Amino acid sequence: MTDKTFTFAVDDELMTAFDHAAKAQDTSSDELLRQLMRDFVIEREADPAYDAWFRQQVEEGIAQADAGNVISSEEVERHFAERRERTLRKIGGLR
């Protein structure tokens, strides 16, 4: 793989702060920029799949709610109150 030179403008204050941050991580600003670029590319490559999955989950949830397949907040509270009570009994918190 051949290296390419990437030149861009950045204000002095940001550059100084970035250099200090890189040194605090015991690396160079060049290497830190390369790592940020790698991380960004990986994130972008993974994002479309996650986005499609998330949108599908939302659509399914809306369809379930529209069909009336929901649990009331009272039912949820009752369920988890019972779970808390069982857990506390198991660990000896309630008798």
C-alpha to C-alpha distance for 63 and 69, rounded to whole angstroms:
9
pTM over 0.75, yes/no: no
Write down the H helix ranges in 25-92. Answer: 29-66, 73-90
**95 versus 55: which is more confidently predicted?**
55
Predicted pLDDT at 66: 94
- Residue in this structure with the two tokens 């660990």, named with its chain if needed: 91
Predicted pLDDT at 81: 96
Q: Is the CB of residue 49 less than 8 Å from the CB of residue 59?
A: no
Q: Where does the pLDDT of residue 2 fall: very low under 50, low under 70, confident under 90, or very high at 90 and above? A: confident
Predicted pLDDT at 27: 94
- Residue in this structure with the two tokens 């940020």, named with its chain if needed: 36
Q: Where does the pLDDT of residue 45 fall: very low under 50, low under 70, confident under 90, or very high at 90 and above? A: confident
